[in-house]
Structure 1
């Protein structure tokens, strides 16, 4: 088959680390090729070299067997390469059509012909099977729809080769299926697709070949049909990985969090929480399942003081925290792994040692007489970076320099190290690799086993089923059912998540108190 890309001997060095060490990579016409590896393995760096964002120290790049120099994304686009980054690059108050044609707007005289732009977008969306409205404003559409806009933007610019960086990290199960269909449509049109991922289920269902990178080096290239999830996990991490969460029977320690008849509005001032009631006990993980957009985000924001509730009751160990500030809530014994690590979890330009004390920076031993003791802070940071295996050259680098998964591990390390009574974990393994998932899952179960309460919110049904002792299902701003884990399965949860109800045969639904 025709080689559309060949990268030979690519080496890329950053201060303190070799991100790519003599890497070879080949993409064939009409194939989906996965770049698989742990967080920080060098996958995104390699693709940033291909897209012209980085210049390699050594190596050659061939496009359709002709050697090229790619010094900027403009060079890559001219060569038919498009890249959809993990964190989207869209103008939020522009429409879908305005974003797609940005910089290549059709014109009528000196004016932009917006009607032609809308028609062009409708045409390209129809061609590739995208269900999207060109007139929708970006900030009003789901993350899955925003991703489609990014893909269409690349196709509009003539991309024959598409690089998708962690494309399923922020998608619901239904949107992941849709993405699979979109990739199939692209391949039928003769396009070639590179997926950067570490989600093994999607690797098996979406790819033709897999190149595995570990710590900057290629450790294997396999045909997907000839491999298995277990083999890929081992090639990726360098050891056998336990993909099943081991949990002993839980030992309940009494109520930690109680939420009663909670009401709150969303950003448009429309009802988002409509009488939410539940409680979480010490020694258990309560999972909240639901399709994105059914009130989970608003619930988390209210519980952590980031959104003001309208009415209801919230208490931690019988202490009222309704409407309190984030600092008051943290001081009441709440740890919070936020769903958006970059907006809510870290200050990206701060160093790692500054980030690890966020929320407790005003307390002893980190602060004395309102002056931060940096010697103590650095020692603490180095200890938890080591304990939680955060891959970094040192604690003084900025949080923005870490890979997404290592940013996540840093947040998990910080929140668990606060020793909270209740840990609120929102999408705790979003965008992290199989080795880090195993580690984070063990730490969450460890919190439960030590008598802490864990409130887990995840769009990954596998994760909810693997970790939870009880499962609450949210639909349209309400908790429609709470099931014991032994009574729950994907089918029951799927029915409830879609707004259906379980009939008399589907036992095991708790009455909501």
Structure 2
């Protein structure tokens, strides 16, 4: 890609960027949220037409006007937010657009044989007859990879592929990517996670604010050097915090039971009890699908409980509505920013006031106060460095995933709260933004707020927490302090091989 330029209203997303990919290499693309990484790859995949520059594939200049043309040239892409039809099966999604038909009738047997062979070859075992809506995100990602391999792509683009995966799924994915490269596939790996880049990539190209900064050999660069090139300043990769000044109990959960859906006799959350005090950060660690999600949904009012009690500042809130919990000072950074965090077709301004549009600050006699909303939104955008083409008027679905996450963080941290429930708050964020978010969490703690952090990132749990709860199979199996436990010990608790309660 030579001198690629892509301009949107009020923003130059790619400013004269050149990028070269060699056959058989894993080339990382690194940059802050809004640096232009996904835009550059969308140009390569034919989703955007560049305003300047040219693309050469195997030495020949090509005009890539749409994804079909990219596929014809052997270019495939797994997007940060998967492009799958939820009500279709895995197999139907894999062949979509390149179906084999005879006399107008779909011929799926040959496709199934080919997909079966590919899945066995690369260890991408998937239930081909299962609908996408019934799959975990890790399995959905496997479907996306099989889509590329089915089309016999030689250039594979992975856009933030580990942002929604568990540590175990990440290890599996990295192994698969290395196998693909060993077979001669050329791979572009977009990531914010420096440790992953060190683990998987041969070379790394750094972008900053739409401009090319450098291409380096990964083996010759440290995480500190990469992060400084990415952000333009030195970044603290370790969280600095004083000993907590722990106060009264803010959140009290007592004997919480949530049954599994359907006819199952099993409890999804099995008699869970814990406290979070003012002035402390308590993390819940665990492998995905061990009950953490259901605990959060119960605390925020998005899921009913079968039995047990939830109290905030000594007041029973078990049966309170979502609005009452929000109004009574619970802030929630949700796990799924698209499903529970944002209304994607709304602009930024309206997303910022979703829980407070009816208050006097933003509403007069039933009418929204546009001037007040615009001023408030502009201030949040500036304070949290949210990159948006049209400021408060930017439609949220047009923003990068990282900047969507920043928008949620801005809204939830700015609202008055006694308890902040943060689920994967740094998912999809770059090191500069992660540093900023961690500082905000520590600041909230030091201001006497109670913080419940749910994270799949063990280094985040170890770095940020004052106390760690570990969930396995719907139960809390450990209640430990970071200084008393290693990541290996936490891993054993998470796998159910060790109990520390």
TM-score of the superposed pair, with normalisation by structure 1: 0.95
Of 470, 477, 481, the residue aligned with 2:478 is 481
Q: 1:98·1:117 contact (CA, 8 Å) conserved in 2? A: no
Deviates more, 1:113-122 or 1:63-72: 113-122
CA displacement at 1:14 relative to structure 2: 0.1
Aligned partner of 2:343 in structure 1 is 347
Give the whole-Å Cα distance in 2 for the aligned partners of 1:78 and 1:168: 27
Segments of 5+ residues of structure 1 without an aligned counterpart are 1-6, 503-508
SS in 2 for 1:327: helix
Of 208, 228, 238, the residue aligned with 1:234 is 228
SS in 2 for 1:221: strand
Correspondence list, 1:121-132, <5 A: 121-132=115-126
Aligned partner of 1:274 in structure 2 is 270
Indicate whether 1:34 and 2:34 are aligned.
Answer: no
Give the whole-Å Cα distance in 1 for the aligned partners of 2:87 and 2:259: 21
Indicate whether 1:291 and 2:287 are aligned.
Answer: yes
Of 99, 110, 125, the residue aligned with 1:105 is 99
Of 451, 455, 458, the residue aligned with 1:454 is 451
CA displacement at 1:452 relative to structure 2: 0.3
Aligned partner of 2:183 in structure 1 is 189
Per-residue Cα deviation, 1:33-64 (whole angstroms, up to 9, x for no partner): 01100000000000000000001111011000
Deviates more, 1:386-395 or 1:183-192: 386-395
Indicate whether 1:356 and 2:352 are aligned.
Answer: yes
Correspondence list, 1:254-333, <5 A: 254-268=248-262, 270=264, 271-333=267-329
TM-score of the superposed pair, with normalisation by structure 2: 0.97
Give the whole-Å Cα distance in 1 for the aligned partners of 2:101 and 2:46: 29
Deviates more, 1:455-464 or 1:294-303: 294-303
Per-residue Cα deviation, 1:5-36 (whole angstroms, up to 9, x for no partner): xx111000000000000000000000000110
CA displacement at 1:104 relative to structure 2: 2.5
SS in 2 for 1:438: helix
Q: How many residues align?
A: 498
Give the whole-Å Cα distance in 2 for the aligned partners of 1:81 and 1:69: 13
Give the whole-Å Cα distance in 2 for the aligned partners of 1:140 and 1:295: 17
CA 1:318–1:366 in structure 2 vs 1: closer, same or farther (change >3 Å)?
Answer: same
Aligned partner of 1:43 in structure 2 is 37
Aligned partner of 2:163 in structure 1 is 169
CA displacement at 1:236 relative to structure 2: 0.2
Aligned partner of 2:62 in structure 1 is 68
Per-residue Cα deviation, 1:344-379 (whole angstroms, up to 9, x for no partner): 111112111111111111112112332221211111
CA 1:233–1:269 in structure 2 vs 1: closer, same or farther (change >3 Å)?
Answer: farther
Give the whole-Å Cα distance in 1 for the aligned partners of 2:263 and 2:337: 25
Aligned partner of 2:215 in structure 1 is 221
Per-residue Cα deviation, 1:415-446 (whole angstroms, up to 9, x for no partner): 11112000000000000111000000100111
Q: 1:425·1:457 contact (CA, 8 Å) conserved in 2? A: yes
Of 230, 242, 246, the residue aligned with 1:248 is 242
SS in 2 for 1:25: coil
CA RMSD of aligned residues (A): 1.4
